[in-house]
Structure 1
Amino acid sequence: MKKRYLTLALAIGLLTTSCEKDYLDTSPTGSIDAGAAYATTKNATAAINGIYRAMIVRYLSSQGHFGHPAMMIILDVMGEDVVIPNTSNTWHLAETRWQAHRSETSTGDQLPYELYYRLIGNANIAIANIDNAAGAQSERDQIKGEALGLRAFSYFNLVQLFGKRYDAAAKPNSQLGVPLILAPTTEGLPRATVEDIYTQINKDLAEAATLLTTTRSYKSHINLEVIKGFQARVALVQQNWADAAKFAAEARKNYSPMTATQYQDGFSDISNPEWMWGFDHLEDQTEYFGAYHSYISCNFNSTNIRVDPKVINSKLYNQIPATDVRSKMWVKTPTTANSIVPTGGVRVAYMTQKFRLPGTPSTSTMGDIPYMRAAEMYLIEAEAQARLGNNSAAASVLFDLVSKRDASYTLSTKTGAALIDEILFNRRVELWGEGFRFTDLKRLNQPLNRNDANISSSVAVLFDVPAGDNQWEFLIPRREINANLAIVQNPL
């Protein structure tokens, strides 16, 4: 049967592959037949694993558009901090130029829409069916809580990209968001308001928090602490400072900042004590040249890494104290002695060393991917406290994090806007390459400004975009407009 609703067809597709017994007993991997998926909690666990797996597969047959990790890279190259140094390799060039997300037929524009609605579609199937699955109530609660978390996570990403920024001073935010699909359906729905989307996100997260605990089998799965991390992220975007500070503190409670030694280990191992949630890259799940570390690491032996290594904005890097371990994550003047590259790889100024795989060069992309780290929670809590006017509390939280990065760091005595600027500077440095810069600029209502740094005009093309400009919104993909008569396009 032909589906009018594009994203539902994509979602159902995930649950049509065959079931293998091994998949029922391992961390995220394949998926199972839709008819049997929720007969038992054991089968339902395999179906949930399939949703996690759908986060990291290639979409639209494009090796550079490998699910959520690709979006992490794309949203950073759309900012000013993660820099593509030349045009020797064209992956993510249209995204950095702000061309892809403003073309309704481009792969870069279709990726987030298809990706996150596929997750939503499968989460909806889980939420609708898990209550009747045979198994322990605790297992049903776990699966439902994870599904609610995945749905909230997906809508949070969609509304930030396809809707206008949330403005706490303009409640209710009646600007158009995305279709709000809460049950399996074949009907196309109109775009809900941004306010309605955030209301549902918060509802899903609150319910998930009642179902989940801190216990989980794999760090690649959502637990209560990750849900609280989501709640902190959402509250920050909604300028709900009190909740942002509260949830961030609760989320990070059982995690500590990594040591300076651990910080230099390569950001590719989920066992790092600071990682709260991430992709645990298993041997049977490799994406080869369509993997996160094929584009962001310093040493994977791919054409992209050899000819076009990612670099940091020179203006940002030059503000990092030499005593800060994070300054070692990039090399201002790279040589064979102070930088790692694959065989035949070029060395360019300010090139990254943050993400690194075992081996020199590395011929495996089996690196884990950080979706959420405790450091982010420290920074959310500090920013929220500063915006509440609690300067001493904000400075204290910031110190707890930054002093682990820089032994010479002293407790900040700044207040007000100056303190917030210090926190945001540390956020840019700390979370470089992890997918936050575009949405941070948008939530802060700041312009894109790529001027006076090491950014090539032939690469970036676009250097300035005013805050609030229509270009901050992704276009609804043409495939969705053609399939869903109820939907309308964003302003061109």
Structure 2
Amino acid sequence: MKKISFIILCGVLTFGCEIDEQINPNAPAVENIAEGATETDLNNLVTGVLARMRNSYSIYATATGTITRELYLFDADPRNTTDLIGTEGALDNDSFYTTANWINRYRTIKNCNILLESLPNADESVSAAERDGYSGFAKTMIAHQFLIIWGAYFDSGIRLDVDDPDDFGPLVTDEAQVLQYVRDLLDEANDELAGAEFAMIFTSGFDGFDTPTTFAQFNRALAARAAIYAGDGAAALNHLDDSFFDINGDLNVGPKMIFSTTGGDLLNDLFKTPGQNGNQIFASDTWINEAQAGDPRVSEKVTQRASSFTKSGITVNYETNLYATSTSPIDIIRNEELMLIYAEANITDGTNAEALAGINAVRAGWGWANPLAGTVTIDDVLYERRYSLWGEAHRMVDLRRTGNLNETYVTLDPVTTTDDDGNVIPATQEIFNQFPVPLDEVGN
């Protein structure tokens, strides 16, 4: 792995002012923070983590969404509509869709690790309880980033041991080992948060989750996600009890990544201006056609265009309406997902009535008077997750972890190409299971 530069992002209430590591023989930034970090230093690192975690998230969401044919990104780069659906053969291990997500997830983890390394020698004004708060925050965010990395690269391998930039650990390809590492890290963080105090300043995206107690509820929500990924329904239910899960609550409650038009800050790149062709996210026609009649999530999340549009042999009719503006927040995890974890965990645990309750609470939350009845199956949960979490980078993980990342569950939209004689013919497609490890990582 290439050495990842330390990044501080200036500002507290808004993000911006990215400063790459500067070489200063008299007072190098990393060394200064590692020895005698002040509350301001530590809070800058927290700000950096919350800012960096947004980078390349849109690439992760659109690339995984294209692989599962829930959406397509039509922009200036043809690889979004060729490589990702397998018309060009194997995925490129040196392409933006392979490298950008990897780099930015590990840069976020690096900032978290610097925060952790700074705590033992922090300025004496930082109390023990506050150090526990910073540690619980950092470990929770590292676990979140690892879940994203695992979601993309799976058994291609990810690096769990990245504490020492001069001696990274090996690529880990064992799914059980990765998920257990994440779950253990979340448990460590949760234990620290139990006796912690927060001196840090969060963005408005964490309103309601900015105390040790409420942040721990976010931690337990992530633990429930990791548990359900590991097939541990009983643990998922236990974690939900300690999270912000509310079966009768607002679907949209949960911490979020925020964006702004402030100079140097980021916009939500999953927002696309309506009606444009050159930079637009389109829903797959199969996502539209396979929805149950009257499902309100379809009309809320996408808008039908006046006429069809075709690129790279892919024809589409519906464009994204998922985010209202370029500064709309993106959910990290929300109550709607927790309701569906509750349903899935109860299937695993053999409690059908509660599984039904979880699914029907989501449907009712959308104002849909069409409750399920009878025996709930994993297919029912996959359907609900497909339409509740469209465009949010869940579908690839959901299909793969249930053994369904194949043509039985991924309906291939008709895609055409032109042969050497100029004839339009069906294009060969492939459904990928994961992204390859970036080229720079191979052999390291």
Which band: TM-score by shorter chain?
0.7 to 0.9
Whole-Å separation in 2 of the counterparts to 1:191 and 1:452: 32
The SS at the match of 1:473 is coil
Number of the residue aligned with 2:99: 110
Q: Is 1:189 the counterpart of 2:169 in the alignment?
A: yes
Note the 1:2-401 alignment, pairs <5 A.
5-6=1-2, 9-10=3-4, 12-15=5-8, 23=11, 25-30=12-17, 33-37=29-33, 39-57=37-55, 67-84=56-73, 90=78, 92-94=80-82, 96-98=84-86, 102-134=91-123, 135-164=126-155, 177-194=157-174, 195-212=176-193, 217-221=202-206, 223-253=215-245, 257-258=249-250, 274-284=252-262, 291-293=267-269, 296-299=270-273, 305-307=276-278, 309-321=280-292, 323-329=294-300, 333-335=304-306, 349-357=317-325, 365-401=326-362
**Deviation, structure 1 residue 115:** 1.8
Whole-Å separation in 2 of the counterparts to 1:186 and 1:306: 45
Instruction: Say if 1:256 and 1:34 are closer, same or farther in 2 by CA, change over 3 A.
Output: farther
Whole-Å separation in 2 of the counterparts to 1:42 and 1:319: 52
**Deviation, structure 1 residue 378:** 0.6
Whole-Å separation in 2 of the counterparts to 1:210 and 1:285: 38
Determine if contact 2:67/2:85 at 8 Å carries over to the other structure.
yes
Number of the residue aligned with 2:421: none
TM-score, normalising length: structure 2: 0.79
The SS at the match of 1:206 is helix
Determine if contact 2:15/2:264 at 8 Å carries over to the other structure.
no
Determine if contact 1:74/1:95 at 8 Å carries over to the other structure.
no
Instruction: Say if 1:220 and 1:136 are closer, same or farther in 2 by CA, change over 3 A.
Output: farther
Q: Is 1:448 the counterpart of 2:406 in the alignment?
A: yes
Runs of 5+ in structure 1 lacking a partner?
58-66, 165-175, 259-272, 337-346, 358-364, 466-470, 485-492
Number of the residue aligned with 1:414: 374
**Deviation, structure 1 residue 116:** 1.8
| 1:404-439: CA deviation from partner (whole Å, max 9, x where unpaired) | 2134122x22215xx322221111001001111111
Instruction: Say if 1:131 and 1:254 are closer, same or farther in 2 by CA, change over 3 A.
Output: farther
Determine if contact 1:451/1:463 at 8 Å carries over to the other structure.
no
Whole-Å separation in 2 of the counterparts to 1:217 and 1:13: 20
Determine if contact 2:268/2:327 at 8 Å carries over to the other structure.
no
Comparing 93-102 and 187-196, the one that deviates more: 93-102
Whole-Å separation in 1 of the counterparts to 2:410 and 2:158: 33
Whole-Å separation in 2 of the counterparts to 1:376 and 1:100: 34
The SS at the match of 2:134 is helix
Instruction: Say if 1:148 and 1:478 are closer, same or farther in 2 by CA, change over 3 A.
Output: same
Whole-Å separation in 1 of the counterparts to 2:268 and 2:49: 18
Instruction: Say if 1:421 and 1:292 are closer, same or farther in 2 by CA, change over 3 A.
Output: same
The SS at the match of 2:277 is helix
RMSD value over aligned CA atoms?
A: 3.5
Instruction: Say if 1:92 and 1:321 are closer, same or farther in 2 by CA, change over 3 A.
Output: same
TM-score, normalising length: structure 1: 0.72
Determine if contact 2:47/2:202 at 8 Å carries over to the other structure.
no
Whole-Å separation in 2 of the counterparts to 1:236 and 1:30: 38
Instruction: Say if 1:101 and 1:438 are closer, same or farther in 2 by CA, change over 3 A.
Output: farther
Comparing 153-162 and 210-219, the one that deviates more: 210-219
Whole-Å separation in 2 of the counterparts to 1:193 and 1:322: 41
**Deviation, structure 1 residue 335:** 4.4
Instruction: Say if 1:161 and 1:421 are closer, same or farther in 2 by CA, change over 3 A.
Output: same
Whole-Å separation in 2 of the counterparts to 1:46 and 1:122: 10
Determine if contact 2:258/2:330 at 8 Å carries over to the other structure.
yes
Comparing 432-441 and 38-47, the one that deviates more: 38-47
Whole-Å separation in 2 of the counterparts to 1:472 and 1:147: 30
Task: Count how many residue pairs are aligned between Structure 1 and Structure 2.
Answer: 405
Identity %: 17
Instruction: Say if 1:192 and 1:88 are closer, same or farther in 2 by CA, change over 3 A.
Output: closer
Runs of 5+ in structure 2 lacking a partner?
20-28, 210-214, 308-314, 419-425
Whole-Å separation in 2 of the counterparts to 1:51 and 1:100: 36
Amino acid of the structure 2 residue aligned with 1:14: I
Amino acid of the structure 2 residue aligned with 1:197: V
Determine if contact 2:352/2:375 at 8 Å carries over to the other structure.
yes
The SS at the match of 1:476 is coil
Comparing 440-449 and 177-186, the one that deviates more: 177-186
Whole-Å separation in 2 of the counterparts to 1:408 and 1:40: 54
Amino acid of the structure 1 residue aligned with 2:159: P
Amino acid of the structure 1 residue aligned with 2:234: A
**Deviation, structure 1 residue 298:** 4.5
Instruction: Say if 1:81 and 1:280 are closer, same or farther in 2 by CA, change over 3 A.
Output: same
Instruction: Say if 1:246 and 1:73 are closer, same or farther in 2 by CA, change over 3 A.
Output: farther
| 1:75-112: CA deviation from partner (whole Å, max 9, x where unpaired) | 1122121134x677637335532469832222221122
Whole-Å separation in 1 of the counterparts to 2:342 and 2:400: 19
Amino acid of the structure 1 residue aligned with 2:256: G
